[in-house]
Chain A
Amino acid sequence: MFEATHLHKRFGYHVVLEDVSMSFAQGRLTGIMGPNGAGKTTCFNLLTGRYRPDRGRIRFEGRDITALPPRAIARLGISRSFQVMNLFDDYSALDNVLIATPEVRERGFSVWRRFGGSTDVLESVGLAGKAHVRAKDLSYGDRRALEIGVALAARPRLLFLDEPTAGLGTEATARIARLIAELKRSITIVLIEHDMKFLFGLADHIYVMHWGQVIAQGSPAELRANPWVQRSNLGHAVN
């Protein structure tokens, strides 16, 4: 469904991604893990059009999207959430979600029609009761949920989630895990995650990144058996 081949990216003299290839199969949840600075978020930024790779190709449903800007990629049905939250802070939770819906987007240049519409995204991320609370007044956990909600509102076929549980406690992490497990049934998901238990419980396939490269990949079971992974700290976290 989605395939990136031989991606390279440098910032100045600093090589951040080197020969990274990944593919995400329809209906599956793919995880990306690795230590801080491994290039996970940069990878997302290339795959969703924020930066262009220096070399390499990105294809989505057979179409080359390497050079497309973020808005064009979004319109193809690819959506993402951010590690550092990116919400419309002055808008209510409902408006945050509505602004991301294709319906509002299509009439964005309209002056005579009303802004509005309906969506069930808030219910699915557990914010139905807080529809009219401003994003900046929501609790941290609710903001995390809304961050996913905005990405979902675009009704993507492929969803990139960048550390959706960053900074959350056990309770709130469990809530996000339930949400992602639910979403997994209908959407293809790519997930960056630090929490190994969390990721190994959800993912069908995992890429392990380090120093800007993919150093291992496979199903959770394969990775557990992988001697390299076992030798590293990752093994401890998993077993």
Chain B
Amino acid sequence: MRPEEIIRGEDCLTPADLEALLEGRLPEAQAHVDICPVCEYELASLREFLAGEAGAAEQQDLAWMEARLQPAAPPVTRRKWLSWFPAAPLPRFAYTCAAALLVVAGSLQLRHMAGPSLVDSHSTTVRSSQIRILAPAGDLDTAPVEFSWEAIPQAAAYEVVVTEVDGTLLWSNRTSSSKLFTPASIQQQMLPRKSLLWRVRALDAQGVVIAESSPERIRVLSAATR
């Protein structure tokens, strides 16, 4: 029998019960806390967490951590491609008309299309991606110890986002430099042969995104060592 099984009973309170007791919504639960050291301990822990009151000796380290945790950015005004579409569904005939127009336009384009030009048009390519990623990229022998990119003159900060290929966030952090070190714990989460994507965004002093890199695929070939 595990120690917890000896001293934790079926009548012990759930975290939701403890929360209700703290907020005065379940005062009758106090009688159980008065006889149960486990629930007394759990209640004290929850109360401490919710209070979030740092002692004098903790203030300096806490301030250091808060400065490095991703700060809450002001709302980013970003145009979403979904907003181009009307909220209400279009009537069915509208889709039929659109499809017919596409077929006509496509056939006209094919009729007027010339062969490939051998002359360089010197046209300027407009890209949404304005930050050039330096490293890491592609297959890596070990988990990357840092992410780096070319600096943008107007940028006040950069936000690095590492995700799995399905978009699940693995890690995100901000820096004012053009490189960001990877915490050891994050390196260890970069599992061998699992593809990840990372990108970097540049933010101005107001926290508005002013440039963004293309997503870069990376894959660690062997496990990280700490």
- Is B one of A's binding partners? no
Residues of B within 8 A of A (CB): none
Identify the A interface with B (CB < 8 A): none
